[in-house]
Amino acid sequence: MVAPRMVELMHEASGIGLAAPQVGLPWRMFVTHVPDEDPIDRVFVNPSLRLDLCGLSPQPYEEGCLSLPDLRLDILRPKGATISATGDDGRPFQLSDVGLLARVWQHEFDHLEGRLIFDLAQPVDGSIVKRWRKVYDAQ
């Protein structure tokens, strides 16, 4: 099974999320484990995401990424989100959040859409992003 191995890799890297494209798989799947918010290992297969600003403009928050070690950038994201997916048990489920979980879902969903945090970085981070793009594109 792939999902248990992805969960294992996420924990080994001290991450709170990992998407299939990050480990070379072309699947629309990611795993999460956010200890203070959702302390179980959760698998999201074929997720769909609905964003909710919660009456606020997008909120900045410093994000890191297992694909880009040592890079942390302020990323603007809507505060809330609702996600629908199929779990590793084959059952569909839906969750909503207005905090860190919503941000993690958005971050991992971005991987499924081919986006990394440097694609969403604020202009103030422009020089950092340019340096990382050169390193990333050279690999």
Question: What is the pLDDT tens value at each position of the chain, 139 positions in all?
Answer: 789 999 999 999 999 999 999 999 999 999 999 999 999 999 999 999 999 988 888 989 999 999 998 888 899 999 999 999 999 999 999 999 999 999 999 999 999 999 999 888 876 555 666 666 666 676 6
As annotated, the active-site residues are: 108
CATH number for the region 2-138 comes to 3.90.45.10
Read out DSSP for 70-106?
A: T-EEEEEE-SEEEEEEE-TTS-EEEEEESSHHHHHHH
Write down the domain spans for the chain.
Answer: 2-138
For the chain, first and last CA: distance in Å? 28
Cβ-based burial of 59 (10 A; exposed 0-12, middle 13-18, buried ≥19): middle
pTM, full prediction: 0.89
